[in-house]
Chain A
Amino acid sequence: MGKQPVSRRQFLNYTLTGVGGFMAAGMLMPMVRFAVDPVLKGEAAGEFHPTQQKVADLTDVPVRVDFSYEQTDAWYTSEVTSTAWVYKNDQDEIVALSPICKHLGCTVSWEGNDHKDRFFCPCHNGLYEKSGKNVPNTPPLKPLDVYPTAEKDGLLQLGKPEANNIV
């Protein structure tokens, strides 16, 4: 007998290796994804949302900019409304701060409750400097997050808030 037909055992071997390989790939792929994720993430962070704020109108006084966009969350899309406090700093750069208090998440406001030159959190009297830096001896332990900013047709665009690294 020259050519043996594939024996039962061989057949099982082949197919099982096949399945195993497939499963391994299934497990490895996400790992590879995690490994290269910073790259993918870079793309996601590059996603900017338009606002109605004219860049030319910005001054050194923080203004409240509300904007909304659609967010797709697994199955359904929902409209999200976000807010930023935006101004130009001494170097004429645009600064856009998240209003979410780093203590427990209330919304802060510029010079709220008559706190000159500070962001104020009404929940437990948290304070931040104009740069977003938290004022010592008030509850927040970290500075306000910052939005990456961009400009399109003279209008401000905002990305995803990131940790603020000012010291």
Chain B
Amino acid sequence: MNWNGKDAVLVEQQKQYIDTVIIPLVPVDFGAEFKRSAEQYEFVGLLADFLERQFKGRIVVTPPYAYVPETADKAPLWSERAQLAGFKHVFFLTSDPAWRQSEDELQGAVIFVPPVPLGDMEESIKRSLIADQAKQLVNRVVDKWQENFE
């Protein structure tokens, strides 16, 4: 489900089925890393869209948690709130290697995707590249659901 009014109605009605949130985690930088942070945001956003389409009936994609270095460590508050509200699974989707080992700290599963600089790549190439990456993600999401049950 997407983060909009129409889908929100469904989420509230069908909470026993829509039990998972995906939070895109993206760094924000205005200086030297400006372009890189913008590219990561775009890339992670496209992947999140794809996962939303694939798992519409079980996953809600939230707005991205975007951070500067000083606010990065507040990300766990989002998973805490989501779990308090009854969501069983929280997955963070990120291309920032800093999170790779942070599952405990974040209180959620981390799905790390190595960043691909999309640059000014042609639309059609971009699309097939995203589709490729996303297909691998699909299985990882299913695995995470299973792990969480054990």
| A residues near B18, Cβ cutoff 8 Å | 104
A50 at the interface (CB under 8 A from B): no
Q: How many A-B contacts if CB must be within 8 Å?
A: 36
| B residues near A115, Cβ cutoff 8 Å | none
What is the distance, in angstroms, from B9's C-beta to the closest C-beta of chain A?
13
B57 at the interface (CB under 8 A from A): yes
Let me know if A124 and B55 touch, CB within 8 A: no
Let me know if A124 and B58 touch, CB within 8 A: yes
A106-B56 contact, Cβ under 8 Å, with A123-B17, A124-B17: yes
Let me know if B123 and A103 touch, CB within 8 A: no
State which residues 33-74 of B face A: CB under 8 Å. 53-58
Tell which of B53, B54, B57, B123 touches A104, judged by Cβ atoms closer than 8 Å. B57
A153 at the interface (CB under 8 A from B): no
Contact with B along A71-88 (1 / 0, CB 8 A): 000000001010000000
What is the distance, in angstroms, from B88's C-beta to the closest C-beta of chain A?
13
C-alpha spacing A34/B18, complex, angstroms: 36
Let me know if B57 and A123 touch, CB within 8 A: yes
A122 at the interface (CB under 8 A from B): yes
C-alpha spacing A96/B97, complex, angstroms: 42
State which residues 116-166 of A face B: CB under 8 Å. 121-124, 139
Max chain B C-beta neighbours (<10 A), residue from A101, A106, A139: A106
A105 at the interface (CB under 8 A from B): yes
Let me know if B17 and A139 touch, CB within 8 A: yes
A106-B57 contact, Cβ under 8 Å, with A122-B142, A123-B17, A124-B17: yes
| B residues near A107, Cβ cutoff 8 Å | 53-56
Using CB atoms, name the residue of chain B closest to A140.
B57
Tell which of A68, A79, A81, A103 touches B57, judged by Cβ atoms closer than 8 Å. A103
What is the distance, in angstroms, from A90's C-beta to the closest C-beta of chain B?
31
C-alpha spacing A79/B49, complex, angstroms: 14
| B residues near A121, Cβ cutoff 8 Å | 57
Max chain A C-beta neighbours (<10 A), residue from B14, B57, B123: B57
State which residues 54-108 of A face B: CB under 8 Å. 68, 79, 81, 101, 103-107
Using CB atoms, name the residue of chain A closest to B50.
A81
Tell which of B53, B58, B123, B127 touches A123, judged by Cβ atoms closer than 8 Å. B58
What is the distance, in angstroms, from A116's C-beta to the closest C-beta of chain B?
19
What is the distance, in angstroms, from A102's C-beta to the closest C-beta of chain B?
10
Closest 8 A/B residue pairs (Cβ)? A104-B57, A105-B56, A123-B58, A106-B57, A123-B57, A105-B57, A107-B54, A106-B55
Mark B residues whose CB is within 8 Å of A: 10, 14, 17-18, 53-58, 123, 127, 142
Interface CB pairs A-B, < 8 A, 28: A68-B127, A79-B127, A81-B127, A101-B57, A103-B17, A104-B14, A104-B17, A104-B18, A104-B56, A104-B57, A105-B57, A106-B54, A106-B55, A106-B56, A106-B57, A106-B58, A107-B53, A107-B54, A107-B55, A121-B57, A122-B55, A122-B142, A123-B17, A123-B55, A123-B57, A123-B58, A124-B17, A139-B17
